[in-house]
Structures are given as C-alpha cells and as structure tokens.
Structure 1
C-alpha cells in the first residue's frame, strides 16, 4: 500500500476549523521559475513568469505597449532597493525571488485576520494557539504561555506530555501544539512570542527561510525516526513512503529509492541519515534558478555592458521583462510592502 510522502511543517490553519497541520512532500527542490519552455527564439514567456510570477504575468495580456512600459517603470523603482538609479544583478535576483514567493505572501495575507484577533498588526503565540487548538484542547490551549521562558529548541526533543494527550485518530494535538510553539520561537526573532507579518510568514512557511532550516530538518527527522535515535535509517526512510501488504510485490520505484538512499542520501555510508544528510535531501541547493534568470535578463538588457541596468535599458527591452500585457502588480506591491 503506497502512502504519500509526508511533511509536517506545512500548516492548514483556517479559523481553527481544519486540522492544525497537513503533511505533504518533504523535498523542497528549487523548482524552475516557470513551467514554460525557456526559448527566447520563440518568445519571452518564461522570462515574464520568472520576473512577475505566473499569475501577475497572465494579467499582462491585454495591455498596450505604452501602458506596459509605464507600469514596468514603476516596478523598476521598486527593484532599485538602494535608490542609486541602477538595477544590479543582486537586486534583480532578489526581485525574482520575491515574485516567486508572492503566492506565499498572498496565503499569509489571506490568513492574517484569522489570527490577529485584536487587530494590532501582530500575532502572538497565544492568539495563534487559541485559534488553532482551542476547539481540540479546550482550556489547555487557552493557558497563556510564559514568553520569557527559554526553550532548547534545536538540540533536544520535546518530552512527551505527562497527562493523557488529546488525540483524534493519527493526530496528537498536545504534541502538535508543543511542536508549533517550538517553531514559533525560532521564527520569532526577538523572542517576545509576538510575530510581525514577516516572522509569521517564516513560521507558516519555514522551508522558504534560511534561518528556519534547522527546525525543518528536526521536524522531518522526528516524523520519520521511529526508534528515537535522532537519525533516519533505510527502513524508516522507505517506511515513510511505502508500506507493503501481505503478498504485495515491491514496486520498482521503491527499489530505486533504496538505491538512492545508499548512493546519494547516506553520504558517509553508515546506514543512516544525520541532520546534514537530511538537509541535503529535503532542501537541496544544487542550482539557483533566480540567480541564473537574473544573469540572463542582465545579459539581454545591458546595452552598455557595465554590469548594471538603468531604467532606460530595461524599458528599451520591456518585451523581455513583461511584453505587451496587463498587470495590477503595482497595486499588489503596495499591499505587500510589509514583506
């Protein structure tokens, strides 16, 4: 019987009416910036989606070139973060990464009011906990958390609760709440257990943030490690993806996964994946598509070959960036300036 790959660090938390966590594919490879073919001889559609994000690029389709250039001019001002009148490769890269993260920001924006109960522009741990867990844990979830209490969040696991846990099928809500609190502490940069929108975004989408990688790895190991040694052996690795039924032949893809474990996952050959090996598995960093696209756009538009772009150079090559399409991206930027 095949089970889907699991991931505990993607949350499904709409008004507390759904399960607090939802598990998905563990591996977060750096995906291409667009599913379209990157063939500039045919069109620049790939570049448009890379530069704006898929949804924003689609909304460009009916705009006349003059209006497209006008709106692109506004976007260029946003990209020029240091306001020196030039767009550097680094600024272009950061913009592309931000455009690709827009769906994450939109997701957080859609949930924000559900958790910011007092409307003060921040989400406290108690606000999040009460919205997410109160219907499952009652008074236990409503008990305030001591924000100043230190927590050894990265080098040790939470102890099992001493009282009988609140459970629902495969869900242990007490342990899930404790684990969410641990992650909230990592996302909360100043340790006050109050998250601004950026901190709350890193809490909900930790796989997207460098400073959250350790907690992503720890949560993954905790999910898969059945014998409690803090490592992932071959049996645990396969068991996370596949459970055989009596008399069922093992599929070919499972055999391939066994080979992958031996040849690529278990780099030191000790039969288990440690934290570093687990990090390489779930958050591979083989290729940065945003860096490659920034270099490409710079090469296509840098007419004087000085390694940076003026607004005029970008507008002269507007069809590479946005073509003759329509967008409300300027307005979207205003809505998401807090990121």
Structure 2
C-alpha cells in the first residue's frame, strides 16, 4: 500500500524557497532547485541546476581530485560540438536536459509501483488499489481522519481523469507524467490553480482572502510578535496579488501568481553560470575556468557525477 507516496504528488511543495513560504506555491516549470538562488550565502541552487537536484545530493562524498576528474567528463558531455569550450547554448541545453531527467526519473520511480499488470500503462483502478487498497475495503474506518483520506482519493481521481486526455481510464506514460507533474502541461494548469485555491480557501467561497493567504503560511504562537516577512506578504497581497483590489484572489489572480509566465529559468541560469565562471570574459567556458571557479566555491559540492551514473545510453 503506497498511501505515503502521495506526498510527491502534492503541489504544496512544488518549489521550496526560503521565507516567505508563499513562494513555495509558485511553479517555475521543472524546478531547477529546492534552494533559494542566493549566491551570497550558498551556491546550492547552481549546484542543483548544473546537475539535477537528486544528483547533487551525494557529490560531497568525493575528494576534490575525484571531483575534478568527474567534472572533466561532464564538461566533455556538455561540449557537444567538441571544440573544447562550453558555450551558452550547450550549457542551456544541458540544464534543460537535467530538468527533463528529474521529471523522467520521478515518473519511472513511481511507474513500476503502479503498473501492477506490467502492460506499460496505468489504469485508474491500478493506481487507486495500489495507493488506497487496504483502506478502501474498510471505507477508511481505520484511519484517524477519514474525511481527509476520502478527499485525497476524490482529488486524485479528478486529477487522473484530467490527465487522461482520451478518457479511457488508462494513463500512458505521458498522461501519468501529467498526473504527477501537472504544472508542466498546459491542459492541466487550470487544475493546478483549482487545487491551490482548494488548499488555501478555508471558507469554501472559491476565492482567497488576506487571512486565508497568510494563514496558509503562518500560525502565530502565543505572545509572538508578527515577523517582518509576514508584513511583507500582507503588502504583496494587497498591492500585487489582489490585482482588481476587491479584497480577494480569484482564479485568474491565483493563476497569475503561481504560474507567472513562461520564463526560461534554464536560460537565465546558463547566463548566470557563465557570468560567474568565465574569467576571461570571452563568453565561453573552459574546463580550467570551471575547475578554478568551482574550487573557490568548494568543488566537492558543485556536481554529483558520482550519483549521475553517466552511461553511454544516457544521451543528451
């Protein structure tokens, strides 16, 4: 029974930034990192963007010399035209590749659990029985919060049906990807907005007021003074989120907030990495430039080649 596997499906933690916590609900395409992009305090965002979030977790186990050797092999893969340099286009493509790999790896991880008859498709009944099977027989009587689990089942079914474009009750790999990562698919984005409103809208009026917006991220302790970032979020709500100034965020305003346009964060990150690493300012990166710069920011955490398992079949 895989009820706990629902956690990765939740959109509540789609993008994990530092406070203010409301920014965790903003979807920036396939996430480059769960870390804040703040080079003054940490280069973890750049590490994740360069290698992928999962891969960047274990590289600190390598020695600096092992790191340099593996970095050389990664740079060789990024340098697709084999001219000895990494240009912006190659770096951009690499980062996009790591984004796609993260999504594919996540889908593959869940696929084998739910495709119980191994027909390379996942029917709603397969997903439902694998995730909720034990509790379904008892009508959720064995769980403390029966209403919550029933709500989760209803929400999963609605999302599954929305992802199932041909309506046959069976998800192909692409449809299952839309189920797990709805923010990546245009035809699922209305549902992303709807789920966000349902999460925050406590009085059920279909919109979000200031108290609900703040209550989603902050619960005051007895005698605690309100943090400055909460005041900032209140200001954001009244000045930015509530565009029509009616005191609420409706579905259009929520969409504008959590789906803020098609900014290419991979392109921005490629530009940033070149600016930070290109010591001779020719717009191209050499292996020596990357090693020199990564030494400065502790190369043993910059790349996770050790966990990447770069194989011949893992094509760019």
* Alignment TM class, shorter chain as reference: 0.5 to 0.7
1:331 paired residue among 306, 309, 313: 309
Distance 2:187 2:169 in 1: 17
1:74 matched residue in structure 2: 77
Q: Say if 2:170 is the partner of 1:194.
A: yes
Q: CA contact under 8 A between 1:166 and 1:172: conserved in structure 2?
A: no
Residue 266 of structure 1 and its aligned partner are, at CA, apart by 0.8
Alignment of 1:103-114 (within 5 A): 104-114=103-113
RMSD: 4.8
Distance 2:209 2:139 in 1: 35
1:319 paired residue among 280, 291, 294: 291
Distance 1:137 1:186 in 2: 22
Distance 1:188 1:118 in 2: 19
1:9 matched residue in structure 2: none
Q: CA contact under 8 A between 1:75 and 1:330: conserved in structure 2?
A: no
Q: Structure 1 32/19 Cα, relative in aligned 2: closer, same or farther at 3 Å?
A: closer
1:252 matched residue in structure 2: 226
Residue 127 of structure 1 and its aligned partner are, at CA, apart by 1.1
Residue 172 of structure 1 and its aligned partner are, at CA, apart by 3.7
Residue 109 of structure 1 and its aligned partner are, at CA, apart by 3.2
Aligned to 1:121, the other structure's residue is in SS state coil
Residue 278 of structure 1 and its aligned partner are, at CA, apart by 1.1
1:161 matched residue in structure 2: none
Residue 117 of structure 1 and its aligned partner are, at CA, apart by 0.8
Distance 1:17 1:249 in 2: 38
Q: Structure 1 118/88 Cα, relative in aligned 2: closer, same or farther at 3 Å?
A: farther
Q: CA contact under 8 A between 2:120 and 2:172: conserved in structure 1?
A: yes
Q: CA contact under 8 A between 2:193 and 2:251: conserved in structure 1?
A: yes
Distance 2:74 2:91 in 1: 17
Bigger shift: 202-211 or 219-228?
202-211
Distance 2:281 2:211 in 1: 58
Alignment of 1:165-184 (within 5 A): 168-169=144-145, 171-184=147-160
1:205 matched residue in structure 2: 181
Distance 1:68 1:207 in 2: 32
Q: CA contact under 8 A between 2:2 and 2:131: conserved in structure 1?
A: yes
TM-score by length of 2: 0.65
Aligned to 2:305, the other structure's residue is in SS state coil
1:125 matched residue in structure 2: 124
Based on CA coordinates, which of the two structures has the bigger radius of gyration? 1
Q: Structure 1 212/130 Cα, relative in aligned 2: closer, same or farther at 3 Å?
A: same
TM-score by length of 1: 0.62
Aligned to 1:63, the other structure's residue is in SS state helix
Residue 288 of structure 1 and its aligned partner are, at CA, apart by 5.0
2:268 matched residue in structure 1: 292
**Unaligned segments of structure 2, at least 5 residues:** 14-23
Q: CA contact under 8 A between 1:29 and 1:283: conserved in structure 2?
A: yes
Q: CA contact under 8 A between 2:3 and 2:132: conserved in structure 1?
A: no
**Unaligned segments of structure 1, at least 5 residues:** 1-14, 142-164
Distance 2:274 2:135 in 1: 53
1:12 matched residue in structure 2: none
Aligned to 1:132, the other structure's residue is in SS state helix
Q: CA contact under 8 A between 2:12 and 2:25: conserved in structure 1?
A: no
1:18 matched residue in structure 2: 4
Q: CA contact under 8 A between 1:187 and 1:199: conserved in structure 2?
A: yes
